[in-house]
Chains A and B, each alone.
Chain A
Amino acid sequence: MIDEQKIIGLLQAKALGCLDAGDNRDLQEFIDGGHLFPWDEFGKFQNVAALLPLALQLEIPDAELKDRVALKLIKLSEQLRVKKILEEDKFEVEEELDENVDEFTNIQEPFVDPPIEIDTETPVVEENLVYQLNSEETTFNLDEINLPGIDGGEVADLNLQEDLTIESPFETLIDEAQIEYPQVEEVEIKEVLEKPEIPKTVKPELLVSEADKVSKPIEEFEDQSKQVDWTKKSVAEKMFKAIEQDFDSLKSHYEKSERKTTRGLLFAYIIIAVLLAMLIFSVFKLSSDINTLNNEVKDIKKKVSSTLYDGQKSKPDHDFFS
């Protein structure tokens, strides 16, 4: 039986996340055992524990970090998309293979992969990809991203420029990052133990209003607007790199299956050539056998007729006197 008082004494440590393994097990057993657990009290301690970081001197991350988060999300969604395309492609090929196997089940010759991969690969690169890029399941709005400062001509040969109307989560990300956070000096975080001194540069009230998006006069940010353009371009380049990587992976997949198909075709040609040679050989063999047999028949006929003639010749008087 677990002591209820002991459990109550563990709530603080549990909320702080510093409970020993043994105590944690006891607590879990208590909860699993259907006892009345003071969730209300525990929730309050969890809330207090979560407030502790607010006693630290606040630091604001670099504005570039926002771009990195956005880029990370875009890459992640692209990876998922490419993975999905490849999986669908693999599924289609397997289905077609199954159909072909059914058609040729009576043939005993070795099965050669039909060259279907080329037929399925081409639309994956051109049409299916476009379709995929337009799907609603995309994350972080890659479909609607407008690449700032980049001409559509650069992607003309990808057949994607119409579909990739890139609106850019970054554009706003960067602008707001520049506007929302005033240039606060980065302050070293000291130990909690150090003497309290609420930073004068970052007032809580100010931060609240920052969090709620303070609109500042545009003149204050004239210099920053240049930075924005620069960042936009770099983000666009990064994004292009991400897209290029995806295309590279598709391309390598396409080349791989093309090689596989060529190998299959070559194998099929060899088998056909061998079969043809065997057929020609057997035709010649058959005709020579027929000729031999014909000659033998002729010989036998000759022998039989000469034997009969000799017999009649040796007994001429026999018939006369009989």
Chain B
Amino acid sequence: MDTDLTDIELIQRITNRDSKALENLYDRYSPVLYTLVKRIAVDKETSEEILADIFVIIWQKSSMFDINTGNLYSWLINLSRNKTLDFIRRQKGLITDEYNEEYENIVILPNISTIIPSNDLSKTFSSREKIYSAVHNLTEAQQYVLSLAYYDGLTESEIAEKLNIPLLTVKSKIRVALNTVKEILAKEDFQ
């Protein structure tokens, strides 16, 4: 298969039941998705199990991706985050809802804005250092709050409770942190 295919071309082929395209997508995305999953799940075996589940979902639900967004990268990242957090919460008994088709469509599959900057993996990889420095330019507190929100899946109230700080402070830190990263990346012409 042509490895120069764009993300969108790949997902279109997957929707048409091209297993080689799925293999190609795996080769392309498994490192970044695995990194994210393992950051959330920590355990290696659990992470591998979740990643396998994610690719099964991609195979089965690729048609649910809105090609018009042109941003498969964000869809896959959000899908992986949702699936991993759900898996971990179920393991801990925090979620008791039945995991069925409907649940997967509503909770696991991401709702990406239809007006989102187009993005693909090669583009993001080439700007990885910029992203890295943008995140690490944030204050430690901002980074920590971002980490709790994004990787630990805590809500703003839960973060406030955990850190024993006012809710408004948490809201403000999250807002400022994401705005800062966005602005730095915009300056770098990334978006």
Contact = CB atoms under 8 A, between A and B. Distances in A.
B31 A60 contact: yes
B52 interface: yes
Contacts of A61: 30-31, 34, 47-48, 51
* Most chain B CB inside 10 Å of its own CB: which residue of A49, A58, A196, A205: A49
Contacts of B134: 55
B105 interface: no
B56 A73 contact: yes
Interface string A88-109: 0000000000000000000000
A76 B115 contact: no
Contact of B155 (A9, A20, A141): A20
B19 interface: yes
Given A13-B149, A15-B178, A53 B32 contact: yes
B141 to A, nearest CB: 10
Given A44-B182, A46-B74, A60-B34, A69 B153 contact: no
Contacts, number: 215
B35 A189 contact: yes
A20 B31 contact: no
Contacts of A55: 131-132, 134-136
A72 B52 contact: yes
Interface residues of B, number: 78
Interface residues of A, number: 65
Interface of B: 3-4, 17, 19-20, 22-23, 26-32, 34-36, 38-39, 47-48, 51-52, 55-56, 59, 69, 71, 73-74, 77-78, 81-82, 112-117, 119, 121-122, 124-126, 128-129, 131-136, 140, 143-144, 146-147, 149-151, 153-157, 159, 171, 174-175, 177-179, 181-182, 185, 191
Interface of A: 9, 12-13, 15-21, 23, 39-40, 42-62, 65-66, 68-70, 72-73, 76, 139-141, 169, 172-173, 176-177, 180, 189, 191-193, 196, 198, 204-205, 207-208, 210-213
Q: Which 5 A-B pairs have the closest CB atoms?
A: A43-B116, A43-B113, A18-B149, A204-B128, A50-B74
